[in-house]
A and B are shown apart, each in its own frame.
Chain A
Amino acid sequence: MAEDEAIFDPTLKKKKKKKKTAFDIDSVLAESTGENDNSNQGINTEVENKDDDQDDANIEIDLDFSKKKKKKKKPFNLEELDGALPDVKEDTTNETNQNQDDTVLDDNLDIELDFSKTKKKKKKKKDLDELIGEAEEKQEDKENVEDNSVTWQGSDRDYTYDELLTRVFEIMRDKNPDMVAGKKQKFVMRPPQVVRIGTKKTSFANFTEICKMLHRQPKHLLDFLLAELGTSGSVDGNSQLIIKGRFQQKQIENVLRRYIKEYVTCHTCRSPDTILQKDTRLFFLQCETCGSRCSVASIKSGFQAVTSKRAAIRAKTA
């Protein structure tokens, strides 16, 4: 994530950080007091803080501190002054409501201004940098996304996770127009050439070629194929893979697709531009596009049933 953030604009970073800390403080407080109503209100105000200008934000922070104190007092009140509790509650909620009302009006304006600003910037950039036709397409896309992302604006309700997600991705795309992450990148593969040899074996003719295309060690792909197919096999002199058992091209393709999904494409951005490294018995997938690094499942063939003639095995071991 740290590297993801590095791509962000500094302004965005600031906003994000502010948001995070605000959430933490408030929600922790809410936990300690155990009142859901207050936490909701807190979050609403916090959302608006985030989109404020610097000056406003400072004021808001001051307000926050005062709120904090009040909330901290509450547990004591709960224990000591049962009778006085309802009054205190009402007072604080009223105050927070007022705060909200004050900020809501200003902030709505601010939010709208912000969006219009970014839009304008976007348009200018596009016109300068790219062809007009492309820019128009993109703008249409952007508008669609925007409709989704600001659905909670102006209403009191909590935004959903999906809404936040579309919003953050939209901002990421806005700030980094040439980023690969959001865009669909087709990963074209040549189909495996699978030929039957006799009745019991199958040849995977372009095995080494496909390994080269995927930038993977033949042994790694070999281990995976054999473990998945539950069989044995080896690479012969013509650099083709001979597998025991009868397999069709489609079946091999399926296994290859699973291999690519797990060991080739980045789990974060799906870019195929990755490196597989072995590090203390674990394999790690390092992405060259987004820089993410994650461990991948080790290849285990697991339980293998006895499928050959038992008499033959007995003859071998005896």
Chain B
Amino acid sequence: MSIQNLQTFDPFADANKGADDDVQDGLVHIRIQQRNGRKTLTTVQGLSSDYDLKKIVRACKKEFACNGTVIEHPEYGEVLQLQGDQRENICQWLTKAGLAKPDQLKVHGF
């Protein structure tokens, strides 16, 4: 029998990561955008900057057989950008690789 309310919890435990940490709300936003014709783009925003996004994009490109890039954004930090609708793929991959939990993933779009 343990009482969660009475356990000590340091609210500033993750504050030393720095203000430039792009994980604003702890969520990984996965979005889709239409381009011309049937083409689409998938963006992944909010991955922790502790991870090497370049390595992630390299692995994803190979895994999903699509092109992709990392974009440095002044407000949102490093954003992963993949060609095509890779929302399902990236969700599965991120959970399988243990980079994000399923409840941290927020998939937008239609």
Instruction: Give chain A's interface residues, CB within 8 Å of chain B.
Output: 27-28, 30-31, 36, 39-40, 43, 200, 227-231, 245-248, 251-252, 254-255, 302-305, 307
A102 to chain B, nearest CB (A): 23
Q: Verify if B32 is at the interface (C-beta below 8 Å from A).
A: yes
CA distance A200 to B37 in the complex (A): 8
Q: Say which residue of A27, A31, A230, A248 sits within 8 Å of B31 (CB atoms).
A: A230
Q: Is the C-beta of B79 less than 8 angstroms from some C-beta in chain A?
A: yes
With a cutoff of 8 Å between Cβ atoms, the chain B residues found around residue A255 in the complex are 109-110
Known contacts: A230-B108, A247-B110. The answer to whether A302 contacts B3 by CB under 8 A is no
* B55 CB–A CB distance under 8 Å: no
**Chain A residue contacts of B32, Cβ below 8 A:** 230
Chain B residues within 8 Å of A, Cβ to Cβ: 1-3, 6, 29, 31-36, 38, 41, 43, 45, 71, 73, 76, 79, 81, 108-110
Residue of A31, A39, A40, A304 touching B33 (CB-CB under 8 A): A304
**Contact in complex: B41, A307 (CB < 8 Å):** yes
B33 touches A305 (CB 8 A): yes
How far is the CB of B108 from the nearest CB of chain A, in Å?
Answer: 5
* Chain A residue nearest to B39 in the complex (CB): A307
Complex Cα gap A209–B2 (Å):
52
Least CB distance from B17 to A in Å reads 20
Q: Are B34 and A230 in contact (CB under 8 A)?
A: yes
Residues of B contacting A302 with CB < 8 Å?
29, 31, 43, 45, 76, 108
A28, A228, A248, A304: the one contacting B109 at CB < 8 Å is A228
The interface residues of chain A, by DSSP majority, are classed as: helix
Q: Please tell me which one of the listed residues B35, B79, B108 contacts residue A227 in the complex, with CB atoms under 8 A apart.
A: B108
A43-B1 Cα distance, complex, nearest whole Å: 10
Alpha-carbon distance between A27 and B4 when the two chains are bound, in angstroms: 11
Nearest chain A residue, comparing its CB with the CB of B31: A230
Q: Are B76 and A231 closer than 8 Å at their CB atoms?
A: no
**Which chain B residues border A307 with CB–CB below 8 Å?**
33-36, 41
Give the residues in chain A near B108, CB-CB below 8 Å: 227-228, 230, 302
**Contact (Cβ within 8 A) A305 B3:** no
Q: Which residue of A lies closest to B69 (CB)?
A: A305
Chain B residues lying within 8 Å of A254, measured Cβ to Cβ, are 110
- The chain B residue with its CB closest to the CB of A158 is B1
**B43 & A305 in contact (Cβ 8 Å cutoff):** yes
Task: Give 23 CB contacts A-B under 8 Å.
Answer: A27-B3, A28-B6, A31-B2, A39-B1, A40-B1, A228-B109, A228-B110, A230-B31, A230-B32, A230-B108, A231-B33, A245-B34, A246-B38, A247-B110, A248-B110, A252-B110, A302-B29, A303-B31, A304-B43, A305-B41, A305-B43, A307-B35, A307-B41
Q: A39-B1, A229-B109 are in contact. List 19 more A-B contacts (CB 8 A).
A: A28-B3, A30-B1, A31-B3, A31-B6, A228-B109, A229-B34, A231-B33, A245-B34, A246-B38, A247-B110, A302-B29, A303-B43, A303-B73, A303-B76, A303-B79, A304-B33, A307-B34, A307-B35, A307-B41
Interfacial chain A residues near B73, Cβ < 8 Å: 303
- Report the Cα distance A248→B43, complex, angstroms: 21
Give the chain A neighbours of B33 by CB distance below 8 A: 230-231, 304-305, 307
